[in-house]
Structure 1
Amino acid sequence: MSPQARRDDLIRAALDLFGSRPPELVTVDDIVAAAEVSRPLFYRYFPNLRELQVEALRTVTDGLIDGLAGLEEGPPEVRLRAAVRGLIDVADNYRAGYIALLRSGSVIATSETDAAVDAVRNRAVALILDALDVKDPSPLLLLTLRCWTAVVEGALLSWLQERSVARDELDGWLVGQLTAMLAATEAHERG
């Protein structure tokens, strides 16, 4: 196995373990057992457990940004729905890491992981503005879009933990939420 493949394997093992318990309870011994490697090999790729935790969470945020990048052509609602589907897919694929990344009070949250989450949020806002063909958004529109990203995060966290809504309903509902929020903002600005 190449060094990069071995490193990726350790990250994958950590993300899998995050599915069964909080990241702060996963140990180096747990990870090396899951990846079927030795402790010295673990330390060849990561100086400490914290570094692996941050890299695992970065894998999730990079996946979220990649998921947002593939917007379809077409009217704004089609493009936004595709972007939301991309977010749902990535959050579902990295379920445990996504939950760990956004869970309030996580002991592995750092300024670096906070910056990674902010990058995802900022990318989401930029893509929505692009889909709506808005070049110079008002402060209230920006606030609306930032609030909607919080709605999406909260909805995905609940959905990942409870699965109380069908997956194929979730994206339409979230786009409907955005549509309603945008209508309220537009009415207020015309007001």
Structure 2
Amino acid sequence: MTGRPRRMSPEARREDLIRAALDLFGSRAPELVTVDDIIARAEVSRPLFYRYFSSLRELQVEALKTVTEGLIDGLAGLEEGPPETRLRAAVRGLIDVADHYRAGYVALLRSGSVIATSETDAAIDEVRNRAVELILGALGVSEPSPMLLLTLRCWTAVVEGALLSWLQERSVPREALDGWLVDQLTAMLSTTAAHDSSVPQML
């Protein structure tokens, strides 16, 4: 027994089931986690599970949306200082959340994932949009040019691809990731500035 209280408020019980699913996502892909796995981890009955979720699919989506909320929270953790310092802190926040929810993060971004839905796609888009807003804020840009926006959106794709590869291969030291990814942004911004006079050298 884990010492969970027998009685919980509906909201607390729902969150406990989501937490149980996320714990399991840490060791296996979400599509491989069953209702039996979740009720065993949460120490509840099958009827109680279905009191809070109409299906396993609903719980999977809610759990993965929790991952995207964590990514947004990670992006919010900006430090004081110059843009590079602040952006590296934000990237570290992303790395921390992606690593903590490894299987869930991979399922969210993997092409053709059976867990992907319009809801999870919208949640990922929200993370991407928040990343672009954060960079613009760190750089002090309120009216970005179309080419600058394109650059930042391309960089978010670089970050996602890099994190997916890193989570599955671990071929690069974790402590090198944030600096390397911010250096990628610096290089992309420098290239964009060479093609768009409205974009200054900002990092």
TM-score (norm 2): 0.89
Alpha-carbon distance between aligned partners in 1 of 2:88 and 2:26, rounded to the nearest angstrom:
27
| Contact residue 78 and residue 86 of structure 2 kept, 8 A | yes
Alpha-carbon distance between aligned partners in 1 of 2:161 and 2:26, rounded to the nearest angstrom:
18
Question: Which stretches in structure 1 are left out of the alignment for 5+ residues?
Answer: none
| Contact residue 26 and residue 100 of structure 2 kept, 8 A | no
The corresponding residue for 2:82 is 75
| Contact residue 29 and residue 104 of structure 2 kept, 8 A | no
The corresponding residue for 1:29 is 36
Q: Which amino acid aligns with 1:24?
A: E
Q: Which amino acid aligns with 1:83?
A: A
The structure that has the greater radius of gyration is 2
CA change 1:122–1:10 in 2 (3 A) is same
The C-alpha deviation readout for 1:38-62, integer Å capped at 9, x for no partner, is: 1011112111111101110010000
Alignment size in residue pairs: 191
Alpha-carbon distance between aligned partners in 2 of 1:70 and 1:54, rounded to the nearest angstrom:
25
The corresponding residue for 2:47 is 40
Q: Please list, as runs of the form range in 1=range in 2, the aligned pairs for 1:1-191 lying within 5 A after superposition.
A: 1=5, 2-3=8-9, 4-190=11-197
User: Offset of 1:16 from its aligned partner?
Assistant: 2.6
Moved over 3 A (4+): none
Alpha-carbon distance between aligned partners in 2 of 1:14 and 1:159, rounded to the nearest angstrom:
23
The C-alpha deviation readout for 1:88-145, integer Å capped at 9, x for no partner, is: 1111111111111111111121111100000000000000000010111111110110
| Contact residue 71 and residue 82 of structure 1 kept, 8 A | yes
The C-alpha deviation readout for 1:22-52, integer Å capped at 9, x for no partner, is: 3223221121122222101111211111110
- State percent identity of aligned pairs: 83
Alpha-carbon distance between aligned partners in 1 of 2:18 and 2:110, rounded to the nearest angstrom:
19
Q: Which amino acid aligns with 1:150?
A: A
TM-score (norm 1): 0.95
Q: Which amino acid aligns with 1:127?
A: L
Query: What SS does structure 2 have at the residue aligned with 1:47?
Result: coil
Alpha-carbon distance between aligned partners in 2 of 1:58 and 1:87, rounded to the nearest angstrom:
15
Alpha-carbon distance between aligned partners in 2 of 1:127 and 1:109, rounded to the nearest angstrom:
26
User: Offset of 1:13 from its aligned partner?
Assistant: 2.0
Question: Which stretches in structure 2 are left out of the alignment for 5+ residues?
Answer: 199-203
